[in-house]
Structure 1
Amino acid sequence: MASIDGNNVTNTASNTNVNNDHMPASAYTVKEAPLGTARHVRIVGIGAGASGINMVRTLRLQLRDNFEHVVYEKNSGVGGTWHENRYPGCRCDIPSHNYQFSWRPNHTWSNFFSPAEEINAYLGRICDDENMRDSVIKTEHEVLGAHWDEAQGCWLLSVANLRTGEQFSDYANFLIDASGILNNWKWPDLPGLHGFKGDLVHSARWSSDFDYKDKTVAVIGNGSSGVQIVPAIYPQVKKLVHVVRTPTWILPPRVQIFAMGPAAEMINNIELDDDENFTPEQVARFQSDPAFYRSFVKTIEKETNSNFPIMIKNSQEQAIASGQVRQYMSAMLDADERLCKALIPDYALGCRRMTPAPMYLQTLTQPNVQVVAEGIRCILPHGLELASGEVVEVDAIVCATGFDVSFCPRFPLVGRNGNLQHLWRDKLPQAYMSCAVPGLPNYFTFLGPNAPIGHGSVFTLAEHIATYIAGIIRKCQTEGIKAIVPSQAAVDDYSEHISTFMPRTAWASSCSSWYKSSGNGIVTALHPGSRIHFFHMLETFRGEDFEYVYEADGSGAVSRRNRFHYLGNGFSTKELDPDGDPTWYLDNAALAASTADSRKATTRIKAQL
């Protein structure tokens, strides 16, 4: 304590008798552990598709120790979407070398756009090589319900072993939902559907016993599955009846698009056959020339990421692209007036998912293909009754009619505010940066409301989201945080930004799309910005947007919850770790980054002066 009298400064601290022994008693005690000590946590994941598999590796890298992780997967194998979808022609519409994990490059993709079996095999190899199957992933196990227990600070789970029929209880300090949005398939709501006497299949549950050869087959739906099935089965059927409810944008072959843009030089150096398969020589070069391989991957990634300006409504890029795609579709349909009217949209390009579909449009011009552009009144035992009353007899019906995309959980998920199933049925699904939900502490999800699911490769998205989630769990594990949840105020503000931004995009235009919440047309499935915008957003954890419950120190008759209890006994794990580097801050990389930042700051200051 100091007193100031003119120019004289007198320090009176030495005259003050402070006796800590006589301070008021406190229930708080110092934690007898160094800063950085991680408490043990149990993490339960749901789903072993791309997101769930990547999460296993990310947790191993970022948490390193003192955690256990189990993943429950309802299917008999790993792979998620690529395990479930086995219909003819099923493949990814993202370039193969960009539809992979950055940490696990595959140099031997067979085609520019990988078939489903190849992607599923890629994911399976990762699980084998990384020892995930036996140690973490439990297939044929389904989570039936989850209930947040506030007192214990954990999720209480009900799980079914689908092999044995046994149900058992489990718990999780953190629950990570990687079940995905495009896996809860549904039949179309058509009267008489299950009274059909012929073969009835759904694209997401394709039966290996389904023989469509020399039959009259109806394919209902022209989404991403329908436009792949039609050209794939056409050569072997007697007649194909394709029911198109809504026109959809079909893009020219992506390789041709890339060859006309900034990636042209690279594409012209890639050897492909007429079916866009990589030649053996090209695969060999990918394997032997890592610099060329990396340049190819980065070039295609950059080109794929550059599409966002097309999504801006009324932009020049939107107008140019719309005109080009319209011309392409008309040419592929032989300028047939009826087909062009039924297939070429009058809504904004991108309002529905834009789909490259080789040979789809050409198939529709064939003489034994009937395109039905009206609704179906009902399904009869041996065919379809159209809205006009016309009856079309068929031997088989393929429903390429999609999934339940309501974001409502498939099981009761009961948090502080009740069951999310009911909450999101009654009002608009909202999440914090697509991966956390108010009222659901210690719960994280992949590709929740307003994720960039239509922006590009889900593999790279999964990596960024997993890193973000793991960082939060690490924070809780080492800072004494028992429960963490985004505040409702933060989510309200984030949702306000989304709803204000979306009208400037093509996604919010007038069309029927699974991107939107049914009934009100509000875009709930896409991120309000580019793919890079999403990555940038997740780089920084905004702690101010979250609410915390801290662990009690557990001492004395009355325990305290002190946010700084984690500071511990004055030492740091960084100095006590025998395998660590206690002078990490002198690393060349850190020093170089610091020097670069200093130079940039100096340059800015000089510019201002």
Structure 2
Amino acid sequence: MGGPSVAIVGSGFSGLGLAIALRRAGFTELTVFERGDDVGGVWRENTYPGAACDAPSHLYSYSFEQKPDWSRRFAPQPEILDYLRGCARKYGVMEHMKFGTEVTGAEFDAAAGRWNVRTAEGETSTADVLVSACGQLSRPSVPDIPGLESFAGTVFHSAEWDHGHDLAGRNIAVVGNGASAVQFVPQIAPKAARLTVFQREPQWVGWKWDRRYPRARSWLNRRFPVLQRLSRLGVFLWFEVLLNPMLISPRGRRVLSAHVRALCRTTRWSVRDKETRRSLTPGYELGCKRVLVSSDYYRSLNLPHVDVVTSAIVKVTPDAVVTADGGTHQVDTIIMGTGFRSHGFFAPMRVAGLDGRVLDDAWKDGPHAYLGLAVAGFPNFFLMYGPNTNVGSGSVVHMLESQIAYIVQAVRALHDPEVLYMDVREGVLSEFDERLQRRLGGTVWNAGGCNSWYLQGGSRNASNWPGSMLDYRRRTRSLDPSDYRFVKR
């Protein structure tokens, strides 16, 4: 078929899935730019001890490529990475990969209806369609702590784990207590001489109902694929029918919050020290921040050489972390469990659309995109896992597959030889965004009493979708041509 040429930036679940879908639809003129040396995105980069998915494996996978032999209910990082590598090989997209290539900029040529894509190596290429598949969680965030550069020991972020640094017998500071920290702290705590978790705010942590699947389960899945599909459906309904309403509906929150709070409270009672347990109790509404799951994080805090410090860090000296209460904590290793720059959806690219307008300027009041996919004034440009497409409960892979189907439809529309480019209408985008933000106002993410990475500047929610996964699937099932301005050649 050939068709429009497509440039995809990123080869994680989103970019890889889109490349596969385009090939299956007959569009073979595509290039996937990947700054790393392999596919996988965050699952290639995050290799810290204990790294694993916190959504069940049967749902956290492509619907078109079910894996019958997951080793566990919550698959570990190496297994997810192998799964993505296998998908890339099976569907023939490795030949489209351009590894070790970081895209630094892209400018739209309105006369030609094409994007000029620049790389860090100084190379330039063109494409009819540009897709940013960088995601929301690809760039580590490191807080600006005074004196950090003077630290004489070893410092690294959890997403850039230093496997050459032996943690045995070390005095370790872990800055942050989010989704990554609750996974790696139990793994490294037993070997440390002392480990101190510097906690800015407590988290809701529920029990992780993880288990290893028996071999018979894999055999049955292969023999009777319907069993795995039923398992996937059951997990999907659990999120959609039970958990998601708690986050997006005030009434649902009242009904389900008490039950889930009780489960989290039961988990927290595994911490023996009363003061520590009190410091781990959130004062904000459940779900306001990402609800974490772990069956061993709280237990690791019972170790005699593990402490939780809630006083804010004020500075770092060559051999210590100093807190606002006057405490000086001697350490030789600092691990940043401080998350990601979640609103840099296309960082570090400089994207310039019609009339040279830069996307950063278009988003000066906050990231926004129609269905999280398209931005007015940036023709033939689409985002994956863009603004307001994160799910507080469920699997982002389901959302990505909705986006993939939509973008394939857009590429089909651009296959018309008379069409130069398509640009989402400004009024369509603004009306969508206004309604979206109004709906978000009543959700737990906006009204739950916390300051999370979902919010930009403490107010605008640029991350979450205020509905169900099925609602998003319905909205993206068919591309409505009237939403776009089609410019003819």
State if a TM-score over 0.5 links the two structures: yes
SS in 2 for 1:434: coil
Aligned partner of 1:420 in structure 2 is 359
Q: Distance in 2 between matches of 1:208 and 1:402?
A: 19
Aligned partner of 2:286 in structure 1 is 349
Aligned partner of 1:146 in structure 2 is 106
Contact 1:310 1:321 in 2 (8 A): no
SS in 2 for 1:526: coil
Q: Distance in 2 between matches of 1:478 and 1:411?
A: 29
Aligned partner of 2:163 in structure 1 is 208
Q: Per the alignment, do residues 144 and 131 of structure 1 end up closer, same or farther by CA in structure 2, a change over 3 Å counting?
A: same
Aligned partner of 1:301 in structure 2 is 236
Please state how far the C-alpha of 1:408 moved relative to its aligned partner.
5.3
CA displacement 1:258-286 (0-9 Å, x = unmatched)? xxxxxxxxxxxxxxxxxx11122333322
Aligned partner of 1:462 in structure 2 is 400
Q: Distance in 1 between matches of 2:459 and 2:148?
A: 28
SS in 1 for 2:461: coil
Report the residue type matching 1:293 in the other structure. Q
Report the residue type matching 1:348 in the other structure. E
Aligned partner of 1:48 in structure 2 is 11
| Match runs of 1:11-22 below 5 Å | none
Q: Distance in 2 between matches of 1:254 and 1:532?
A: 25
| Match runs of 1:231-246 below 5 Å | 231-246=186-201
SS in 2 for 1:402: coil
State the Cα RMSD in Å.
1.7
Q: Distance in 1 between matches of 2:122 and 2:333?
A: 38
Contact 1:452 1:531 in 2 (8 A): no
Confirm or deny that 1:131 pairs with 2:69.
Answer: no
Report the residue type matching 2:73 in the other structure. F
Confirm or deny that 1:174 pairs with 2:135.
Answer: no
Confirm or deny that 1:396 pairs with 2:396.
Answer: no
CA displacement 1:187-241 (0-9 Å, x = unmatched)? 2211111221112111010122021011111111111111111111112111110
Please state how far the C-alpha of 1:322 moved relative to its aligned partner.
4.5
Contact 1:413 1:420 in 2 (8 A): yes
Larger radius of gyration: 1
Choose which of 420, 432, 437 in structure 2 pairs with 1:494: 432
Aligned partner of 1:430 in structure 2 is 368
Aligned partner of 1:287 in structure 2 is 222
| Match runs of 1:566-605 below 5 Å | none
| Match runs of 1:56-455 below 5 Å | 56-62=19-25, 64-65=26-27, 67-133=28-94, 135-160=95-120, 166-254=121-209, 276-306=211-241, 307-311=243-247, 312-313=249-250, 315-334=253-272, 336-407=273-344, 409=346, 410-416=348-354, 418-424=357-363, 426-455=364-393
Confirm or deny that 1:516 pairs with 2:471.
Answer: no
TM (normalized to structure 1)? 0.77
Report the residue type matching 1:239 in the other structure. R
Q: Per the alignment, do residues 541 and 408 of structure 1 end up closer, same or farther by CA in structure 2, a change over 3 Å counting?
A: closer
SS in 1 for 2:376: coil
Q: Distance in 1 between matches of 2:365 and 2:156?
A: 33
CA displacement 1:12-57 (0-9 Å, x = unmatched)? xxxxxxxxxxxxxxxxxxxxxxxxxx78421111001111111111
Q: Distance in 2 between matches of 1:235 and 1:287?
A: 39
Q: Distance in 2 between matches of 1:210 and 1:321?
A: 42
Contact 1:408 1:420 in 2 (8 A): no
Runs of 5+ consecutive residues of structure 2 not aligned to the other structure = none
Q: Distance in 1 between matches of 2:316 and 2:215?
A: 48
Q: Distance in 1 between matches of 2:319 and 2:74?
A: 37
Q: Distance in 2 between matches of 1:412 and 1:253?
A: 40
SS in 2 for 1:513: coil
Q: Distance in 2 between matches of 1:72 and 1:297?
A: 31
Q: Distance in 1 between matches of 2:390 and 2:31?
A: 27
SS in 2 for 1:231: helix
Please state how far the C-alpha of 1:91 moved relative to its aligned partner.
0.3
Please state how far the C-alpha of 1:520 moved relative to its aligned partner.
4.0
TM (normalized to structure 2)? 0.95
Report the residue type matching 2:414 in the other structure. C
Contact 1:408 1:421 in 2 (8 A): no
Contact 1:411 1:421 in 2 (8 A): no
Runs of 5+ consecutive residues of structure 1 not aligned to the other structure = 1-37, 161-165, 256-275, 552-609
Q: Distance in 1 between matches of 2:375 and 2:29?
A: 23
CA displacement 1:358-394 (0-9 Å, x = unmatched)? 2111211322111001110111111100111210001
Report the residue type matching 2:322 in the other structure. E
Please state how far the C-alpha of 1:185 moved relative to its aligned partner.
0.9
SS in 2 for 1:332: coil
Please state how far the C-alpha of 1:456 moved relative to its aligned partner.
2.1
SS in 2 for 1:532: helix
Q: Per the alignment, do residues 288 and 365 of structure 1 end up closer, same or farther by CA in structure 2, a change over 3 Å counting?
A: same
Q: Distance in 2 between matches of 1:190 and 1:375?
A: 11
Q: Distance in 1 between matches of 2:420 and 2:294?
A: 49
Please state how far the C-alpha of 1:479 moved relative to its aligned partner.
6.4
Q: Distance in 2 between matches of 1:248 and 1:116?
A: 23
Q: Distance in 1 between matches of 2:50 and 2:458?
A: 34
CA displacement 1:74-93 (0-9 Å, x = unmatched)? 00111000000000110000
